[in-house]
Amino acid sequence: MDVVEALAARSGTTCLVGAGGKKTTMRTLAARTDAVVTATVRIPIFDRWVERVVVTGDPVSAAERVDERPLGVVPEREREDRYRGYDPSVVDRLARAVGDPLVVKADGARSRLLKAPADHEPQLPTSADTVVPVASVRAAGRPLTDEHVHRVNRVAALTGRSPGEELRPDDIAAVLADEAGGLKDVPDGATAVPLLNMVDDERLAATAREVARAVRDRTDAPRVVLAEMRAADPVVDVV
């Protein structure tokens, strides 16, 4: 299955949450669609992913005025290495106004492999059609520490693991499938499509399938996507 179809990102608003591959997934989707790319949280500079980035307080006018696609829209360059994101209500207006697919970064993870959201996360627009909770399969076998996990205590609460304990495949599934984890605040009517990233060998593929089956057992997600987003053909399997 093509990655755009697998993640239901051909049209509508697709929001990325979680850890272990949000940015590479957004870059992959931008390269394969005529998307407008934006964020409701801070986002690293992404000018090389898109044809053009417009820094504006009025992304609707920018999207209507500028023909280049994929197009990035952000409200402000906060510092040299990152932009700020819009309030989710602004992204809702953008979604209503433009017919292009919209790809949105809706939380942060400080480049970790796994995360659980804080009280103020994620920052999902109500217009989200698809929410993609992301985790890296490489979290399996790693200790539950700040080196690998964002918000260790919250992941510990969802998994029953103590900080420092080794994470197992079922722990990753528990985080992805929980309404206090990867499914937190998914809007009514939106579809969640969990993504396991960094599946770049057969051993990791076997682990990812184990995680995916556990996610399917816990949720009504239509599928779990296994991928290596740095590959030319990113989709490894769909469970």
Q: What pLDDT, on a 0 to 100 scale, did the predictor assign at position 126?
A: 97
- With beta carbons less than 8 A apart as the criterion, state whether 16 and 26 touch: yes
Average of pLDDT values for 49-68? 97
Cis peptide before 122 (omega within 30 of 0): yes
- With beta carbons less than 8 A apart as the criterion, state whether 166 and 194 touch: no
- Cα–Cα nearest to 88, from 56, 40, 130: 40
The single residue listed with the structure tokens 């017919």 is 99
Q: What pLDDT, on a 0 to 100 scale, did the predictor assign at position 228?
A: 98
- Tell me the pLDDT tens digit for each residue of 78-101: 999 999 999 999 999 999 999 999
Which domains does the chain possess? Answer: 3-33+99-238 (3.40.50)
Q: What pLDDT, on a 0 to 100 scale, did the predictor assign at position 40?
A: 98
- Classify residue 94 as left (phi > 0), alpha (psi -120 to 50) or beta: alpha
Q: What pLDDT, on a 0 to 100 scale, did the predictor assign at position 53?
A: 98
Q: What pLDDT, on a 0 to 100 scale, did the predictor assign at position 9?
A: 98
Report the greatest alpha carbon distance in the chain: 52
Q: Which tokens hold the place of 123?
A: 């920052």
Q: How many Å apart are CA 75 and CA 54, to the nearest integer?
A: 8
- Tell me the pLDDT tens digit for each residue of 8-51: 999 999 999 999 999 999 999 999 999 999 999 999 999 999 99
Q: What pLDDT, on a 0 to 100 scale, did the predictor assign at position 55?
A: 98
Q: What pLDDT, on a 0 to 100 scale, did the predictor assign at position 43?
A: 98
Q: How many Å apart are CA 80 and CA 171, to the nearest integer?
A: 36
Neighbours of 87 (CB within 10 A): 12
Q: What pLDDT, on a 0 to 100 scale, did the predictor assign at position 12?
A: 97
Average of pLDDT values for 122-133? 98
Q: How many Å apart are CA 226 and CA 167, to the nearest integer?
A: 19
Q: How many Å apart are CA 199 and CA 204, to the nearest integer?
A: 5
- Tell me the pLDDT tens digit for each residue of 148-203: 999 999 999 999 999 999 999 999 999 999 999 999 999 999 999 999 999 999 99
